[in-house]
Amino acid sequence: MKLLKAVFTFLLGVVSTCFAGLILSHIWSWFIVPKFNLPYLSVGESIGVMIVFNFLLFGFYMNPVWTKMVDENQKLLDGDKKKLSLKTWELLKPIVIITFIYPIMLGVSYVWHLILRS
């Protein structure tokens, strides 16, 4: 069961990263290229940029404040068994991001792009 969960989480991470790269390449071409005359980014290059930023920002997740917030959240969740556990949320988070957050972000960016073009 743990192997299946690990494979499922890995595949969700790959799909999430690909969608994020696609969205970043569109947002880059809509806002950064016209303003700063930088070259367009392909989806692969966008994924590379995201990897660099995640690497640079990874220290935030190792921050003691972040760890304390996670521990307090787990205590709250342990107090009420009807709520989602932290492990369940970590498994569902990529699905929520792919299904809701990325399309909303792309839609808002596209509308803003159209407003700036007119």
Quick one: how far is CA 88 from the chain centroid? Answer: 17
What is the total count of domains within the chain? 1
- What is the residue-averaged pLDDT of the chain? 81
List CB contacts of 118: < 8 A, sequence separation 6 or more: none
Domain boundaries, position 75: 2-117
Per residue in 19-45, pLDDT tens? 999 999 999 999 999 999 999 999 999
Q: Is the pTM of this model over 0.85?
A: no
Nearest to 94 by CA among 25, 27, 17: 17
| pLDDT higher than 80, residue 74 | no
